[in-house]
Amino acid sequence: MNRMFLRVSVAQLDSFVGDIDGNAEKVKYAMDVAEKRKSDILVLPELFITGYPPEDLVLRVSFLKANVNAVKDLIEYSKGKDLLTIVGFIDVDEDVYNAAVAFRNGRIVGIYRKRLLPNYSIFDERRYFNVGDEALVLKLGDAKIGITICEDLWSPAGPMMEEVFEGGAEVIVNLSASPYYCGKRELRKKYLSSRAFDYHTAIIYSNMIGGQDEIVFDGSSLIIDAEGRIIYEGKVFEEEIFTVDLNIDEGLRATLHDPRRRDWKYEGCKVRFEDAGVPRKDKTDRK
């Protein structure tokens, strides 16, 4: 990576509810692919380790422990790799959280806990999870990367605003398990493109694929630049690992003319910064 480009891999793969070992093996496979492509970042969907939605499996201590142990194994597997991997799992503390773990070269860089839990239609997340209470921005070299999970990105005044205006994020990563319905793909594209354009911030959107009971996930992951242009759209109802070189300097140029970043303050906002280390060399060295 140089200051202008971030090489991003997105893995929209079929995660099976309860098959923690099988799902973890898919993460390893995606890591190997992204590492061979010399990517800076690999992003997988929401709750990929457990499958989505895990529902009452969350109430089983053995299930929670297996999920945590799988993440520990993946962190060990990442030793010697310059790849920053971000994947969804259940974080277990005094309570349980729908979370994303970011790790690189054998260490955890940061853990983000989902803050906006949907509790409507097919969603029942408040029954199972507690709410996160802080934003997370990772520093990968000069790049600042904010982490969000699904619903967090759909609120115009939610975590993305805090990570961009208070945390200075130039890229927002979103791990998602967004169900399909007629017209959903076009709605997503319009909504996320407008969000990227309004905040002058690139978006990396990794969506689940496959089905669980009556719920169907279509993939259709997106990479959108800071001008709101769709750089790449993932396949529909097909597994795929795609890689894109994302220009992050476009957002910087736009924000220099945006006074909101200088004036915006929110006393209740907590942003945690974590150092993800030194990125790879220039894009020219990766070919």
Query: Residue 208: which CATH number?
Result: 3.60.110.10
Rounded mean pLDDT of 274-282? 71
Peptide bond into 259 cis (omega under 30): no
233 is catalytic: no
pTM for this predicted structure = 0.92
46 is catalytic: yes
Residue 253's pLDDT is what?
A: 58
38, 144, 150, 151: the catalytic one is 150
Q: Tell me the average pLDDT of the chain.
A: 90
26, 38, 46, 166: the catalytic one is 46
Confidence of residue 283 (pLDDT cuts 50, 70, 90): very low
Select the more confidently predicted residue: 27 or 265: 27
Give the C-alpha separation, 65 to 80, whole Å.
26
Answer whether residue 268 shows pLDDT above 60. Answer: no
Answer whether residue 127 shows pLDDT above 90. Answer: yes
Rounded mean pLDDT of 28-57? 98
What is the total count of domains within the chain?
1
Question: Which residue, among 78, 204, 76, has the nearest Cα to 143 in the 3D structure?
Answer: 204
Answer whether residue 257 shows pLDDT above 60. Answer: no
Answer whether residue 66 shows pLDDT above 70. Answer: yes
Residue 134's pLDDT is what?
A: 94
Answer whether residue 267 shows pLDDT above 80. Answer: no
**Cβ atoms of residues 195 and 160 within 8 Å:** yes
The secondary element (H helix, E strand) that includes residue 262 is helix 260-263
Percentage, residues of the chain above pLDDT 70: 89
Give the C-alpha separation, 172 to 169, whole Å.
7
- Least confident range from 11-25, 111-125, 161-175, 243-257: namely 243-257
114, 151, 163, 166: the catalytic one is 114
Give the C-alpha separation, 166 to 108, whole Å.
23
Rounded mean pLDDT of 85-107? 98
**In terms of residue numbers, what domain contains 115?**
5-285
